Amino acid sequence: MGMAEDAFDRLRRVAFEGEHMERMAALGVRMKLSPGVIKTLMRLARADGISMGDMARGIGCDPSYITALVDDLDERGLARREPAPYDRRVKIIALTDAGRELAAEIDAVVSVPPAAFAALAQPELRQLRDLLDKVLAASDERRSGAGGHGVPVGVAASP
């Protein structure tokens, strides 16, 4: 395993195993929401008014899955579809007030770092944050370099 894979494996374990995942599972059960619906709500809270196609590309899934997720959000009164002002064939997903409130409630739960972060001193937390900012910036740059449509997993971006 290379260094990048090794580092990512540790990041994945922090984010997708243990305390954080237990909190997410409990949240889903309590709110009667699937992980996909939670993920969609959180993405919409950051970029409200996103096209269904852009949402599918951003999450990395089939557009039919986004349709099912948005159907669920719409039935619950958490989001609505609107025609895009630039092309009525394109549907924009927008959160309702209830959707924004629920997304804020979810964010309050998922934003709490795992207790294990207490093992890091403030300078180490700052360094971790700065390193992750660098990774996120490179990811954003890579996506924008692909015409805003992202690069499929496992496919190198064109120079």
Domain coordinates in residue numbering, the chain: 3-112, 115-148
Place of tokens 């309590």: 30
Q: What does the pLDDT look like over 134-152, one tens digit per residue?
A: 999 998 888 776 544 443 3
If you classify domain 3-112 with CATH, what class do you get?
A: mainly alpha
For residue 93, what are the β-bridge partners?
A: 50, 81
Helix, strand, coil: what percent of the chain each, to 5?
65, 10, 25
For the chain, give the percent of residues with pLDDT over 90: 42
> Is the Cβ–Cβ distance between 40 and 66 less than 8 Å?
yes
Residues 30 and 94: their CA atoms lie apart, in Å, by 24
Q: What does the pLDDT look like over 12-68, one tens digit per residue?
A: 888 888 888 888 888 889 989 888 888 889 889 988 689 988 888 887 888 889 899
For residue 87, what are the β-bridge partners?
A: 84
What band does 102 get if pLDDT is binned at 50, 70 and 90? very high
List of residues 6+ apart from 152 with CB closer than 8 A: 60
Residues 145 and 148: their CA atoms lie apart, in Å, by 7
Is pTM beyond 0.85? Reply is: no
Mean pLDDT of 101-126: 92
Maximum pairwise Cα distance, the chain:
52
What band does 71 get if pLDDT is binned at 50, 70 and 90? very high
For the chain, give the percent of residues with pLDDT over 70: 90
What band does 130 get if pLDDT is binned at 50, 70 and 90? very high
